[in-house]
Homo-oligomer: A and B are copies of this chain.
Amino acid sequence: MKKRPTLADVARSAGVSLMTVSRAINNKAGVSADVRKSILKLAKELGYHPNQIARGLATNYTTSVGLVVPDNTNPFFAQIARGVEDTAYDHGYNIFLVNTAEDATREESALNSLCQKGVDGLILISSRLPVKALKEEVALYPAVVLVNRELKPIPANTITVNINDQHGSQLAIRHFLASGRQRISYVNGPANSLSAKRRLEGYKKALEEAGLAFEPDLVERSAPDTDGGGYATTTLLKRRPDIDAIYAFNDLVAVGAMQTIEQLGKRIPEDIAVIGFDDIPLASIIRPQLTTLHVDLRQIGHLAMQTLLDKIAGNSRATSIQIEPQLVLRASTWS
């Protein structure tokens, strides 16, 4: 690796002082147009690039932000991360990506580490930290965007971004009801999932709206993957063979449900209609294609990063943002 030239090198080479070069490089006032031009030309020739470490030490700004997710491999988080990174790139920022692997210890450790690196802000998605620990961590950062998590009272440096899960459930259940389905079951997500809890509430609320009773044996918990959806559906259909619609916690669960339904010799959607959540690519790959609640995840990432930048810059009074999911009708609910 060749040693990189420094500001002093350029200054010496140009026969001016360090500060003149600094001003020229940073487009700051106080240097005549022709001097600036010649300095910039020289800097380019020498291959000068500012050392951001040194700059960070002097200014306390790093043009880096932390992005903490449970698992970057999960398409849900991957899409959000992409939105975040794209927007960061547009603004000259870089992203520290960290996985927590659903492990609170690792999450805390990662958050401490990022903070030591002097990031300008933090985007924390689906944090599993208890309220107390979360508050302590959040307090270490200049600005924080919390996605898929709530925190009350919300700290002054923090903004939350959440999907309107409850409304999503209502859209799904209303669609089932409108197409004549009567015994709608919900394959719920993991117990520690905030979304799962909120979606269950929406499910109940939609039934209530329609004057239907909530029947607990139409709900079954599932791991948030295909296998989990398969198991849960087997259990459900054994218990309630009269089910004619399944609302699944997410698309993977929905696919597991669909496979189980077909194995049992029932037809989709004629015998049982299915709705998922998330609209991952798989939803339109499998047959029949899956009706699901679409969420523009990349847009969420974009929004989170944009909001964070605003907060860092000090021009933001937002505290809480809601994203509305949209029902995408496909073959798994056609009748």
- Spell out A's residues near B (CB within 8 Å): 1-2, 4, 49-54, 56-57, 62, 64, 67, 71-73, 75, 78-79, 81-82, 85-86, 89, 92, 94-99, 101, 106, 110, 112-118, 139-142, 157, 226, 255, 259, 282, 285-287
Contacts and interface: CB of A to CB of B under 8 A. Distances in A.
Given A75-B75, A116-B52, A139-B2, A106 B89 contact: yes
Contacts of A282: 282, 285
A52 B96 CA distance: 14
A82 B112 CA distance: 20
A115 B57 CA distance: 17
Copies of this protein chain in the complex: 2
A71 B64 contact: no
A94 B98 contact: yes
Nearest to A284: B226
A49 B141 CA distance: 13
A1 B72 contact: no
A72 B85 contact: yes
Contacts of A78: 72-73, 75, 78
A33 to B, nearest CB: 26
Contact of A139 (B1, B110, B259, B286): B1
A145 to B, nearest CB: 15
A53 B67 CA distance: 18
A157 B1 contact: yes
Given A57-B54, A72-B82, A116-B51, A110 B98 contact: no
A96 B95 contact: yes
Nearest to A140: B1
A117 B282 CA distance: 37
A130 B1 CA distance: 20
Given A49-B116, A72-B97, A282-B282, 7 more contacts: A1-B139, A50-B116, A64-B117, A75-B78, A78-B78, A95-B98, A96-B97
A72 B62 contact: no
A51 B118 CA distance: 7
Nearest to A77: B78
A107 to B, nearest CB: 11
B72 A94 contact: no
A52 B118 contact: yes
Nearest to A298: B73
Contacts of A110: 89
Contacts of A117: 52-53, 62, 64, 94
Given A1-B157, A52-B118, A94 B113 contact: yes
A281 B125 CA distance: 23
Contact of A53 (B1, B49, B99, B118): B118
A254 to B, nearest CB: 12
B49 A115 contact: yes
A73 B73 contact: no
A141 B1 contact: yes
Closest CB pairs A-B (n = 6): A97-B97, A53-B118, A53-B56, A52-B116, A73-B78, A73-B82
